[in-house]
Structure 1
Amino acid sequence: MKKYFFFIALIILFAVNSYAATIDDVVVEGNRRVPTNTILKYTVNPGDEFSLADIDNSIKNLFSADIITDVKVDMRLSDDRLILAYVVKEKPYVNRVIFNGNVELKTSVLNEILVPMTGQVIDSRKVETNLKIVEDKYHDEKFYSVDITAEIEDRGNNSVDVVYLINEGVEAKITQINVVGNNHFKRKEILKEIETSEKGFWSFFTGSGKLKKTELAVDMEKIKAMYLREGYAKIQVGEPRIELSEDKKKIVLTIVIEEGLRFKVAEVEFEGYKSVEADALRETTKLKTGDWFNVEEFQDDVKRVTAKFTDIGYAYANVNPVTILNDESQTVSVKYQIEENQLVYINRINIRGNTKSRDRVIRREFDLTEGDLYSSSLITASKNHLEFTDYFGEVRLSETPVASDKVDLDVDVTDKMTGMFSIGAGYSTVDAVTGMVSLTQKNLFGMGYQTTLKAEFSEKKADYTFSITNPWLFDRPYSLGFDLFKTDRSYYEYDKESMGAAVSLGHQLIKRKLYANYRLRYEVIDINDIDEDAAKIVWEQEGESTTISLTPTLRWTTLNHPQNPTAGNKAVVYSKIAGGIFGGDNDFVKIGLSYTHYIPLFWKFVFMGNFEGGQVEAYGGKDVPVAERYRLGGMYSVRGYDYGDVSPLDEDGDRLGGVKYDQMNLEVIFPVVESAQLMGVFFIDAAQSLTSNEQFLSGDVYKSYGAGFRWYSPVGPLRLEYGVPVDDPNGEDPSGKWEFSIGGMF
């Protein structure tokens, strides 16, 4: 009894008097899942002076932490020590989340989109958030009459199940889209711009009529951008109205637009600059006086003006655009306030992350060096050059200021596998089953050497090639390459065996764009095993002969990617001169050219057009060698035909190969699964192989069409294409032909 009397007296003493006692210890009781240390973060601490106000605040903090449902604080005395005990009742943990009533959407789909709750302390905010997430998912799937409620079911052992009761209702689709307030653009122009669409006949296949709120918000911004490009600087696109029919199956969507006034550009002024001529700045901007005020073009003009200064060393140039709208005259005055700031120089180029590629292989791709004046365009171009080498999986370039007038360029790269092991296969009436094995390394020893070891073989063919090229001889923009080759091939009427070697030297004429190459080739050719009904010209070339040739080539390229370009062009012009001063048995001149252009189309579709042609002519009273004649057909010329099908015939009806050819390949390339780099392609091919008496683009044209897939897969590039010839060269009914190749990286 004395003990309890003392305890009560102590409480009164603490509460009423100014006497200050010290808390000797703090303990937690009743918790089973929440760690004691977690709860102690919110309690008073041992050593603190006893204060009812502090204890009250600690209780409030515990409730605010949302980890308990109840708490009381006991004061205890033990051996003259004051102990505070926080006796808590924990919030229950979520045992599992259950969906009842879902039919159209699988439980696995719904679980994927939830904010995680299982195994955590129940949180009413998460329960409500997940209810809204599930509801939005149903709305995206056209179930706008869905009704969802959440219930908490006790499972004992301080755990609960969160149960979502779902009444899916009926499926609804957009049957009508109204546009209100539009005068400048017609309704069909606006609907063409956005993804949201009315239900069509093929909606079950195309997905038309589906209403997704996130997509709808993006569509409203697209409509706004349409008007901003046309000078409507004050355009307003309201929140679209969504109306459900009584049966909840039809949606009427109403888009409300307030166009406002349309503005033209009054004048364009520049101020605060001194290092660039005014005329140069005016040429830089696209918006001119009298143009409709295109907001997107205006934003791009700000970037272009800024780049005009960052490109000449003013790395920290700042362009502040000021626009003044005059409603009365419906004009916009544009002023660019320019702060050039200080000239900046490149201090160091720091290269990091390269475990294989040598530093110099990276440095030589830069168009500026340490000590040079800062240039934003050259820095961007240098990054593009590094990516174009295809040596790296990732290239990141950042800038670190080291002084008021100096910056370091930090180049972070990740080496990737640049070796490729390729296996290809095909079938034709000429070669039957054909196989190909190739080992290629684009960055040998990390020095940028390009090497290839290749073998093609079939019942009628065996080709072996080894080549090595240094694209930067002595780290200068010169290339040096060597080739060794041996080829055995059985054609319709004869067999050809050849072996030899070649050396090539190249250099840049216009940096990064125009290249010249000179190739000296020595080849020994043996024509044998000739069929009795072979063309006369083949019999005349029976036996062994030597060809020594020089081939100068000009190559132009502006492609934006070495493997999968989407823009730019490539052109090649060459001349092969054999015999004469070079010696050998064969005397001829061969010329050719090709041009390839990539054009981005709508969405991510890309058009590719390839046009090429060539001609070979003998001199010194000799015939054009059979091996130099044009025999076309196959994956890389006219798909759907076998190699050699596209060829002129002699008087006996035998294919002898042309001395002229022209070829066209048109393709539309598009992503099928973009994340997996799976591309689709539609193509049309056409080509001719002509005699010396025929003119280009005259005579028979062999055409084909088809489609296929290209996949830059984890094991390497895969190409699968099906070509259908329009006319069969043998006079039979044309039939299609598959061709494919696949490779792997190492």
Structure 2
Amino acid sequence: MLRYLIPFLILNLNLLAQNNQIIDYSSPKKYEIGGVTVTGVQNLNKNTLLEISGLKVGEEITIPSDKISSAIKNLWKQGLFSDVDILIEKIIDDIIFLNINIKEQNRLSKFKFKGKISKSDINSLKEELNITRGDILTKNLINNSVNKIKEYFINKGFYKISVNYLVSPDTLKNNYKNLTFTINKGKKVKIKNIIINGRKKIFNTKQNLIFKKDSIYAISDFQIRKSMKETKKKNAWRFYKASKFIEQNFINDKKNIIKKYNEIGYRDARITYDTVYLNQDNTLTIEMNISEGEKYSFGKISFTGNTVYTNEQLNQTLAIKSGDVFDQSILEMRLFGSGEGNDLSSLYLDDGYLFFNATPVETSVKNKKIDLEIRIYEGKQARINKVNVKGNTKTNDHVIMRELRTRPGDLFKRSDIMRSQRELAQMQYFDPEAFDVKIDPDPVKNEVNITYILEEKSSDQIQLQGGWGAGRIVGQLGFTFNNFSTRNVFKKDKWDPLPSGDGQKFNISASSNGIYYQQYRMSFLEPWLG
């Protein structure tokens, strides 16, 4: 059967169809699609491919038209084919029959590694690559795999790593290929030296018997080395941390250096240049240039928008004085996040002002002093609407609720939430690392819903003791159930292994040295009796 390829571009050609009808590509003509066949398919569903193409039997189509181009593009976008053609099978009057001829991409049969690498490295690489049998074997997949292999070994200190690959046919299955990675790790490369340029010496205001120098760096070599927590140069005495270079660790360590400068008033400090190069002795040198800038201190601090507390009260809570070394992290901590709860945010949040916000704005920078205006939005006091508990699969709600210091109708207080968390932790029924509190405010109604998210843990105990005395063995066995429930004793479905959930404590123990001495004890405690 004679076939004609429908091209992407409109060609000024006349092609003869099987019924001797001339197809003039310079004069588009409308046809009805009488049928569409798919050829070249080995692993894919033909009906699915027809759906993707958008060509449907019975629909009207113009030859040539963008609809053919769109059908080819739709199939190409799947990334499953190396070639896609749409051909004319035949034309009967105004009915056209089309054929989609495709060539599938090769698929991966299996892959393996060659080279001097350990089994643990092979297992780790398989997890890193995350490729499996049947994947489309594209150039992009191979290149990504090679890059991941290189990155894996570079992070282990092998900077001269080379990776080659070989694609070979699978003789047992058509269109499937085997992939072999040949890895040459080379030798490990360690950091020999870290060079810091650009630092300026300043007058030493803290001279003593130990530090006698007249001038020093703002941050000493020791402080810089300490700031670089993960990027260390080679030392024979440092056996607990490898001196390998990892790009992400180096990025983080550069941030740590700048953070250290910021803490002592150098707010404009930045690293303007850094490079890593290989030495002739197969070691690395890291070189960077630091622009320190000027050292600043806090100037005048004023407040605006505050009506609940006076400027004096806010200044006392902020506890930053004019002349103190400027440190942005200290400012943010005193505004929003002191661990002791003596920040401005805690001051307002402990009085119901849930919608409080403070925005520090620089108003002046003179003589290396930074004046600030802290603009405060107080909002209205919020009251607690609902208090919910989630995650308690064993402990009953009322046992938890009686420990909480946040109750519906009360003013919202941050300190009450923190105390409630401490109370729940002391119960020892829940995993403290899984504690979370979800705050859901409603600014329109000035209300807030609080949800305590918990995760149960085992709190029961078993005690086994043994000893020898007077020629006899003395033993003791005891069980303590810290979250017992008496009201569920007669409910069979609550025994797991004993009824629990009401926060009661039940203890039973026995001790004996044989037939001469036996003692049995049983105790019960209801912590909220009365």
Match of 1:198 in 2: 233
Amino acid at match of 2:113: F
The answer (yes or no) to whether the contact 1:152–1:163 under 8 Å persists in 2 is yes
Distance in structure 2 (CA, Å) of the matches to 1:298 and 1:108: 48
Distance in structure 1 (CA, Å) of the matches to 2:285 and 2:471: 63
Match of 2:106 in 1: 92
Distance in structure 2 (CA, Å) of the matches to 1:409 and 1:375: 11
Which of these residues, 347, 350, 359, is aligned with residue 308 of structure 1?
Answer: 347
SS of the counterpart of 1:108? Answer: helix
The answer (yes or no) to whether the contact 1:94–1:161 under 8 Å persists in 2 is yes
Match of 1:398 in 2: 438
Amino acid at match of 1:61: N
- Does residue 369 of structure 1 match 2:401? no
Amino acid at match of 2:108: V
> Shift of residue 187 of structure 1?
0.8
> Shift of residue 10 of structure 1?
7.4
Distance in structure 2 (CA, Å) of the matches to 1:384 and 1:171: 49
Distance in structure 2 (CA, Å) of the matches to 1:84 and 1:226: 70
Distance in structure 1 (CA, Å) of the matches to 2:243 and 2:528: 57
Which of these residues, 39, 44, 69, is aligned with residue 56 of structure 1?
Answer: 69
The answer (yes or no) to whether the contact 1:200–1:208 under 8 Å persists in 2 is no
- Does residue 160 of structure 1 match 2:157? no
Match of 2:261 in 1: 227
Pair 1:456–1:270, CA change in 2 (3 A)? farther
SS of the counterpart of 2:404? Answer: coil
Which of these residues, 181, 188, 194, is aligned with residue 177 of structure 1?
Answer: 194
The answer (yes or no) to whether the contact 2:17–2:91 under 8 Å persists in 1 is no
Distance in structure 2 (CA, Å) of the matches to 1:149 and 1:214: 25
Pair 1:219–1:34, CA change in 2 (3 A)? farther
1:10-49 to structure 2, matched below 5 A, reads 11-12=23-24, 16-17=27-28, 19-23=29-33, 26-36=36-46, 39-40=49-50, 42-46=52-56, 48-49=59-60
> Shift of residue 263 of structure 1?
0.8
Match of 1:408 in 2: 449
SS of the counterpart of 1:415? Answer: coil
1:205-284 to structure 2, matched below 5 A, reads 205-238=239-272, 240-248=274-282, 250-284=283-317
Which of these residues, 78, 99, 106, is aligned with residue 65 of structure 1?
Answer: 78
Pair 1:2–1:200, CA change in 2 (3 A)? closer
The answer (yes or no) to whether the contact 2:387–2:406 under 8 Å persists in 1 is no
Match of 1:444 in 2: 484
> Shift of residue 166 of structure 1?
1.5
1:626-705 to structure 2, matched below 5 A, reads none
Which of these residues, 313, 316, 320, is aligned with residue 287 of structure 1?
Answer: 320
SS of the counterpart of 2:418? Answer: helix
> Shift of residue 214 of structure 1?
2.1
Match of 2:204 in 1: none
Which of these residues, 153, 165, 168, is aligned with residue 150 of structure 1?
Answer: 165
Amino acid at match of 1:439: F
The answer (yes or no) to whether the contact 1:115–1:126 under 8 Å persists in 2 is no
Amino acid at match of 1:344: A
Distance in structure 1 (CA, Å) of the matches to 2:509 and 2:253: 52
Pair 1:374–1:75, CA change in 2 (3 A)? farther
Distance in structure 1 (CA, Å) of the matches to 2:224 and 2:74: 54
- Does residue 350 of structure 1 match 2:388? yes
Match of 1:477 in 2: none
Question: Normalising by structure 2, what TM-score?
Answer: 0.78
The answer (yes or no) to whether the contact 2:18–2:90 under 8 Å persists in 1 is no
Question: Normalising by structure 1, what TM-score?
Answer: 0.57
Distance in structure 2 (CA, Å) of the matches to 1:352 and 1:359: 9
Distance in structure 2 (CA, Å) of the matches to 1:260 and 1:434: 75
Which whole-Å deviations, capped at 9, do the CAs of 1:523-558 have from their partners, x for residues lacking one? xxxxxxxxxxxxxxxxxxxxxxxxxxxxxxxxxxxx
The answer (yes or no) to whether the contact 2:17–2:23 under 8 Å persists in 1 is no
Distance in structure 1 (CA, Å) of the matches to 2:97 and 2:223: 77
SS of the counterpart of 2:376? Answer: strand
User: Aligned residue pairs: how many?
Assistant: 468
Match of 1:730 in 2: none
- Does residue 102 of structure 1 match 2:158? no
> Shift of residue 423 of structure 1?
4.1
The answer (yes or no) to whether the contact 2:360–2:375 under 8 Å persists in 1 is yes
- Does residue 111 of structure 1 match 2:149? no
Distance in structure 2 (CA, Å) of the matches to 1:241 and 1:89: 47
Distance in structure 2 (CA, Å) of the matches to 1:383 and 1:123: 54
- Does residue 420 of structure 1 match 2:461? yes
Which whole-Å deviations, capped at 9, do the CAs of 1:312-338 have from their partners, x for residues lacking one? 222222222223562x52122222222
Distance in structure 2 (CA, Å) of the matches to 1:461 and 1:277: 73
Amino acid at match of 1:466: M
The answer (yes or no) to whether the contact 1:95–1:119 under 8 Å persists in 2 is yes
The answer (yes or no) to whether the contact 1:352–1:411 under 8 Å persists in 2 is yes
> Shift of residue 83 of structure 1?
4.3
> Shift of residue 234 of structure 1?
0.9
Which of these residues, 133, 152, 162, is aligned with residue 148 of structure 2?
Answer: 133
Pair 1:431–1:454, CA change in 2 (3 A)? farther
Pair 1:87–1:438, CA change in 2 (3 A)? farther
Match of 2:525 in 1: 469
Distance in structure 2 (CA, Å) of the matches to 1:399 and 1:301: 22
Distance in structure 1 (CA, Å) of the matches to 2:184 and 2:2: 66
SS of the counterpart of 1:138? Answer: helix
Distance in structure 1 (CA, Å) of the matches to 2:322 and 2:68: 72
The answer (yes or no) to whether the contact 1:25–1:45 under 8 Å persists in 2 is no
Pair 1:214–1:436, CA change in 2 (3 A)? farther
The answer (yes or no) to whether the contact 2:364–2:372 under 8 Å persists in 1 is no
> Shift of residue 137 of structure 1?
2.1
> Shift of residue 228 of structure 1?
1.1
- Does residue 387 of structure 1 match 2:425? yes
Distance in structure 2 (CA, Å) of the matches to 1:2 and 1:110: 51
Match of 2:220 in 1: 186
Distance in structure 1 (CA, Å) of the matches to 2:512 and 2:457: 30
Structure 2 residue runs without a partner (length 5+): 4-15, 200-216, 337-342, 486-500
Amino acid at match of 1:419: D
Which whole-Å deviations, capped at 9, do the CAs of 1:370-411 have from their partners, x for residues lacking one? 011122332233234323322124443213345532222233
The answer (yes or no) to whether the contact 2:386–2:448 under 8 Å persists in 1 is yes
> Shift of residue 151 of structure 1?
3.4
> Shift of residue 458 of structure 1?
6.5
1:498-513 to structure 2, matched below 5 A, reads none
Pair 1:6–1:252, CA change in 2 (3 A)? closer
Distance in structure 2 (CA, Å) of the matches to 1:232 and 1:428: 69
Distance in structure 2 (CA, Å) of the matches to 1:462 and 1:189: 66
SS of the counterpart of 2:187? Answer: coil
SS of the counterpart of 1:66? Answer: coil
The answer (yes or no) to whether the contact 2:55–2:71 under 8 Å persists in 1 is no
